[in-house]
């Protein structure tokens, strides 16, 4: 009879402890991590359930599967259309679709996937006198950012401009000048996003924000040009 | 995700840091459709401001976004390209696209070098949105072929674009340089009107 069946729920062992096979939900965690997760309630079973619930969502060990999908979708779409246009004869429609995909990707990563997946945000503000201020923010409590989400987000974010630079080199060799604009746009927008989120991580000059309802720290306040 | 009042993210003209931080934290948790809808409304608002460029609307273009210029440019290029025969249409599309973007950049750069205080992106935004009357003209001209009717429509549209853009941009350049910075803007819109007229 296990401890649970005996009605003793306050022990330090968990159901399934005797059985070393991890469940699919938590197979990416070590045994330590699986059973030492502590949430707000203090009860280890509740906290473990809470931990699993927040990081295992619809069959994927990441916190935001839809955001992850869109983080990739427009980038892959732009690449796909770009390569398809190399062999297709039409110019205008693939060009327009590529430009739109790259723009949507920039907007999605900047406004949606960044704040959902890693809790970071950056933007530009124009003051009363016309000067520019760049703002970089992070969520105050970053403990619940899923590790898969974070890993995936940063890898894809940095890989995009690098990949497009390689494609630019290849297309210079293949001499397709009409697509340089698309290439340049992808590189510029991708690097812009990468720069913005990189700055969010720096963590200098943290100013405590109003912490009601989970406040957010203003991480960096500077001026640009 | 519920329970937060969506506040205009760009409404941060207050100097009180408490209200500033409150408005920020509410937008960091907002649902996705709120974000999308807010930006769509901002674009629509700017188009309406360009149509009636008077009074205290001038400050509303301060929150720049480049969606407007992109959409105007793509629409103009597509319509002008579609009006040509299939052989020329791709070249026309590319040509118009390049003219609008590089033209706006050069005009903006000119304004900056003459000592303008507006930011680069804000000028780009204004110039892009002010092409809107000419975009409407080009859509009408897709079906309208008589040259004198086209002329009667394109001249006021060009004047409207020039007037709107100078209303927004002239405040930021020094007095003695106004003509020097407004002339390229006029040239830019006259060139686009000529392209639209001859489509």
Separation in Å, CA of A24 to nearest CA in chain B: 28
> Worst-scoring range by mean pLDDT, A77-81, B74-78, B136-140, B168-172?
B168-172
- Give the model's confidence band at A100: pLDDT under 50 very low, under 70 low, under 90 confident, else very high: very high
Query: Is the reported ipTM for this assembly greater than 0.85?
Result: no
pLDDT-derived band at B30, boundaries 50, 70, 90: confident
* Sequence-ordered list of residues with C-beta below 8 angstroms from that of A71, at least 6 positions apart, any chain: A108, A109, A113, A117, A152, A153, A156
> pLDDT, tens digit, for every residue of A1-19?
554 555 544 545 555 555 4
Which chain B residues touch A69 with a CB distance below 8 Å?
Answer: none
User: Nearest Cα to A78, choosing from A3, A158, A190, A1?
Assistant: A190
| Residue A60, helix vs strand vs coil | strand
- Rounded CA-CA distance B148/A25 in Å is 72
Q: How far apart are CA B135 and CA B76, in angstroms?
A: 6
CB of B119 within 8 Å of any CB in chain A?
Answer: yes
Q: Evaluate whether A135 touches A125 at the Cβ level (below 8 Å).
A: yes
DSSP A208: P
pTM for this entry: 0.71
Q: For residue range B43-61, list pLDDT tens digits in order.
A: 888 888 888 777 666 666 6
- Mean of pLDDT values over B155-168: 90
B112 touches chain A (CB under 8 A): no
Domain residue spans in chain B?
A: 32-197
Q: Is the pLDDT of residue A122 over 70?
A: yes
* Average pLDDT rounded to a whole number, residues B85-107: 88
Which residue from A133, A105, A139 is spatially nearest to A120, judged by alpha carbons?
Answer: A139
Q: What are the pLDDT digits (tens) for A171-189? A: 888 766 778 888 999 999 9
Rounded Cα distance, A103 and A192, in Å:
12
| H-helix segments, chain B | 17-28, 32-51, 67-82, 86-113, 120-129, 132-141, 147-169, 178-197
Which whole number is the average pLDDT over B108-133?
86
Q: Where are the domains of chain A?
A: 1-56, 64-222
Does residue B7 belong to the interface with chain A, where contact is any CB pair within 8 Å? Answer: no
Task: Please report which residue ranges of A44-88 form alpha helices under DSSP H.
Answer: 44-55, 65-87
Q: Which residues of A165-191 are buried (b: 16+ CB within 10 A; e: fewer)?
A: eebbeebeeeeeeebebbbebbbebbb
């Amino acid at each position: 009879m296990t401890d649970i069946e005996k009605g003793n729920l306050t022990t330090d062992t968990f159901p399934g402890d005797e059985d070393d096979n991890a469940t699919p939900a938590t197979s990416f965690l070590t045994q330590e991590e699986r059973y030492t997760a502590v949430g707000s309630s203090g009860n280890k079973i509740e906290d473990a359930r809470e931990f699993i619930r927040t990081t295992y969502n619809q069959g994927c060990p990441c916190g935001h599967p839809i955001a992850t999908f869109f983080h990739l979708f427009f980038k892959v779409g732009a690449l796909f259309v770009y390569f398809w246009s190399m062999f297709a004869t039409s110019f205008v429609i693939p060009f327009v679709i590529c430009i739109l995909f790259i723009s949507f990707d920039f907007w999605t990563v900047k406004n949606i996937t960044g704040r959902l997946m890693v809790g970071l945000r950056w933007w530009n503000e124009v003051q009363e006198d016309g000067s520019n201020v760049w703002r970089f923010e992070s969520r105050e409590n970053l403990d619940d950012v899923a590790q898969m989400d974070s890993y995936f987000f940063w890898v894809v974010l940095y890989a995009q401009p690098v990949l497009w630079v390689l494609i630019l080199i290849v297309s210079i060799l293949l001499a397709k000048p009409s697509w340089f604009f698309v290439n340049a746009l992808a590189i510029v927008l991708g690097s812009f996003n990468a720069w913005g989120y990189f700055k969010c991580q720096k963590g200098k000059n943290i100013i405590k924000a109003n912490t009601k309802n989970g406040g957010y720290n203003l991480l960096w306040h500077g001026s640009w040009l | 995700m519920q329970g937060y009042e969506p506040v205009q993210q760009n409404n941060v003209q207050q100097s009180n840091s408490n209200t500033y931080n409150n408005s920020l934290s509410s937008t960091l948790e907002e649902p996705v459709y709120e974000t999308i809808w807010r930006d769509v409304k901002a674009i629509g608002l700017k188009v309406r401001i360009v149509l009636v460029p008077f009074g205290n609307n001038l400050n509303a273009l301060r929150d720049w976004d480049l969606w407007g210029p992109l959409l105007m440019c793509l629409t103009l290029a597509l319509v002008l390209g579609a009006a040509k025969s299939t052989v020329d249409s791709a070249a026309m599309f590319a040509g118009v696209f390049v003219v609008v973007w590089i033209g706006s950049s050069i005009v903006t750069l000119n304004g900056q070098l003459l000592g303008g205080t507006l930011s680069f992106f804000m000028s780009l935004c204004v110039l892009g949105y002010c092409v809107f009357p000419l975009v409407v003209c080009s859509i009408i001209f897709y079906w309208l072929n008589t040259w004198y009717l086209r002329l009667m429509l394109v001249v006021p549209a060009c004047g409207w674009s020039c007037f709107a853009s100078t209303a927004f941009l002239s405040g930021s350049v020094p007095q003695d340089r106004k003509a020097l910075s407004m002339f390229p803007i006029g040239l830019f819109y006259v060139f686009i009107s000529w392209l639209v007229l001859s489509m």
